[in-house]
Structure 1
Amino acid sequence: MKSRHLQRIQPHWDWRAAANFVCGGAGAGLVIVTLLCALDRPEARGLLALGLALVALGLFAVWLELGRPLRAANVLLHLKGSWMSREALAALLLFPLGFAVLLRVHWAIAPAVVAAAAFLYCQVRILGSAMAIPAWREPWTRPLLMATGITEGLGLFWLVGAWTQPSPALAVVLAILLIVRWLLWRVWRERLQRTDGAALALRALEPAGRFLQWLGALVPSVLALVAASTALPPFASAVLLATAGALAAITGGRFKFDLITRAGFHHGIVLPRMPVRGVPRTAA
């Protein structure tokens, strides 16, 4: 069989689908970070509520994209073979567990972390299932988007929480996550460069890639490490941490938005002959 590159981008997912990955991934990451690292902080309940609201906003954007919105519940009928169905189930579990944590039900903390992680994992598997789109099906897309969601969540955490109780240890964690995300992006890009039919996607992602490299890795990681120094006054540390957090969230969202809306180029396959029922298959 011979392959060809179709000079067209997928027409089905627009900004509404991208909003689910941008808001939902960051929201799930914020829920995970808050439940694991910040439940003892004064702004913990607000951060958790913000994370749940972002997940809901992303799902609402997808609902707007449906041709028949009133049939949205049918997505739960395909749990066996659809990562979208599993994402919806994870969300249905996440919201009541998250609200239970908001009401100080302590046993719900661990299940809520699992539900948020499952939601984020289902999102990255949705893209991996798009076998006709090289930029989405690349196996390294999964760890890259998982790291992006967690990094965005910690970035949003510091954007809000830097003003109340700076934590040098979590500031260092943010810097580490930013570097890890950048390294995963480099590996992903290098593998994509060797993938047949991915040239157009790489070209479309160049601006977001440069944005992710400099404003999404180098600058905010330096800011976070400087803010972790105890020599700075609290307000200066808060400004640096909040700036680093904002850059971490914005650059991750920009990359995911461009990945969905600008890099979804099809890689078509030309069949040498169409299969016919009852006719034995011959060697190509």
Structure 2
Amino acid sequence: MNSRHFQRPQAHWDWRAAGNFICGGAGAALALVATLCAPAALFLPLVLTGMALVGLGLFFVWLEIGRPLRAANVIVHLRTSWMSREALAAIALFLLGAGLVAGLRSPAWAIALTAAAFLYCQARLLGAARGIPTWRHPLTVPLLLVTGLTEGLGLYWLLAAWAHPPLVQALPLAALLLARALLWRLWRVRLGSDAAPQALRAIDANAPVVRWAGIALPLAGLALATLTASAPAFQATLLALAGLLATAAGWSLKFTLVTRTGYQHGFSLPRMPVRGVARNAPVKE
């Protein structure tokens, strides 16, 4: 008996959980990107913007907790919980941000490391949901990681395009757009035998957003931007729009993944257990 016909939607994670993945992943990736390639004048604003997005994502999670005053207990399960590790990475990131605001020189490598750790823990958090085929799939974690990095670079270009950073910095965004599209396609194809039909329909309904806003239009904008060096304002507009589309497509993908594909895997009994009969006893036809 095929267990996929006995799946039901999970009832614990809603738009608030999606908000954590949307804001937290993009914010951590923006902080990471800012430490790697932001101009000196934009480093602090971009890093703090990324941290603010991480904080907003965690605020959404706090709204979802049944007993908000016990939120601090999330940190006590570091050995077994990716949520605890995510929270610890967020605390470290906020402490480094507070140091920057206070005028201390927090090392860029420490900010990059904690931001990358937060992004990784968040992706593993969804991948650890063993009862939900679309979340536990081996490609879900790399898909979320690449999506988060794409969002970070997209936000970087959206916010920094008018500062005219070197155009060569657009190459990683183009590469990540292609990588995300490839991973999304492989993930969708390999889900076919396990995921609930309702989940597959939700993924397919979001497919035009992934294809157009997630790859075709931003790549076209990046290509056109390389031909408009003589019009800096127009070039910056194209780069900012490409970043906006790349980010919006990632947010749409995450919202669909968290809120519309979380169908729990059912179970099947190849034969009913009978009291007093050994487990490996032959079955009479």
Aligned residue identity for 1:59? L
Give the structure 2 partner of residue 123 of structure 1.
Answer: 122
Conservation of the 8 A alpha-carbon contact between 1:152 and 1:248: yes
Give deviations 1:124-177, integer Å, cap 9, x for gaps: 111111111111011101111101101101101111100112321112221111
What is the TM-score when the length of structure 1 is the normalising length? 0.92
1:209, distance to aligned residue in structure 2 (A): 2.0
What secondary structure, in the 3-state scheme, does the structure 2 residue paired with 1:269 have?
Answer: coil
What secondary structure, in the 3-state scheme, does the structure 1 residue paired with 2:163 have?
Answer: coil
Give the structure 2 partner of residue 11 of structure 1.
Answer: 11
Give deviations 1:12-52, integer Å, cap 9, x for gaps: 101000000000000011011001111x3422211111100
Distance 1:275 1:90 in 2: 50
Give the structure 1 partner of residue 157 of structure 2.
Answer: 158
Distance 1:35 1:95 in 2: 15
Conservation of the 8 A alpha-carbon contact between 1:97 and 1:109: no
Distance 2:23 2:70 in 1: 23
Give deviations 1:202-254, integer Å, cap 9, x for gaps: 21112322201111111101211221346441001111001000001111001
Give the structure 2 partner of residue 24 of structure 1.
Answer: 24
What secondary structure, in the 3-state scheme, does the structure 2 residue paired with 1:43 have?
Answer: helix
Correspondence 1:270 to 2:268: yes
Aligned residue identity for 1:37? C
Give the structure 2 partner of residue 77 of structure 1.
Answer: 76
Conservation of the 8 A alpha-carbon contact between 2:89 and 2:118: yes
In the TM superposition, 1:98-113 aligns within 5 A as 98-103=97-102, 105-106=104-105, 108-113=107-112
Conservation of the 8 A alpha-carbon contact between 1:90 and 1:115: yes
Conservation of the 8 A alpha-carbon contact between 2:213 and 2:248: no
In the TM superposition, 1:30-45 aligns within 5 A as 30-38=30-38, 40-45=39-44
Using the TM superposition, name which of 100-109 and 227-236 deviates more. Answer: 100-109
Distance 2:183 2:139 in 1: 8
Aligned residues with identical type, % of pairs: 53
**Which 5+ residue runs of structure 1 have no aligned equivalent?**
none
What secondary structure, in the 3-state scheme, does the structure 2 residue paired with 1:270 have?
Answer: coil
Distance 1:55 1:183 in 2: 27
Larger radius of gyration: 2
The 3 A distance-change label for structure 1 pair 126 and 273 is: farther
Conservation of the 8 A alpha-carbon contact between 1:83 and 1:122: yes
The 3 A distance-change label for structure 1 pair 81 and 224 is: same
Distance 1:24 1:11 in 2: 21
In the TM superposition, 1:55-70 aligns within 5 A as 55-70=54-69
Using the TM superposition, name which of 239-248 and 3-12 deviates more. Answer: 3-12
Give the structure 1 partner of residue 198 of structure 2.
Answer: 200
Conservation of the 8 A alpha-carbon contact between 1:5 and 1:197: no
Using the TM superposition, name which of 196-205 and 128-137 deviates more. Answer: 196-205
Using the TM superposition, name which of 79-88 and 96-105 deviates more. Answer: 96-105
- Root-mean-square deviation (CA, aligned residues, Å) is 2.2
What secondary structure, in the 3-state scheme, does the structure 2 residue paired with 1:196 have?
Answer: coil
Aligned residue identity for 1:235? A
Q: 1:240 aligns with which of 214, 238, 241?
A: 238
Conservation of the 8 A alpha-carbon contact between 1:166 and 1:238: no
Distance 1:64 1:274 in 2: 43
Kindly tell me the number of residue pairs found equivalent between the two proteins.
281
**Which 5+ residue runs of structure 2 have no aligned equivalent?**
none
In the TM superposition, 1:109-188 aligns within 5 A as 109-188=108-187
1:123, distance to aligned residue in structure 2 (A): 0.8
The 3 A distance-change label for structure 1 pair 4 and 259 is: closer
Correspondence 1:95 to 2:80: no
Conservation of the 8 A alpha-carbon contact between 2:8 and 2:265: no
Correspondence 1:218 to 2:216: yes
Aligned residue identity for 2:165? P
Give the structure 1 partner of residue 247 of structure 2.
Answer: 249
The 3 A distance-change label for structure 1 pair 273 and 55 is: farther
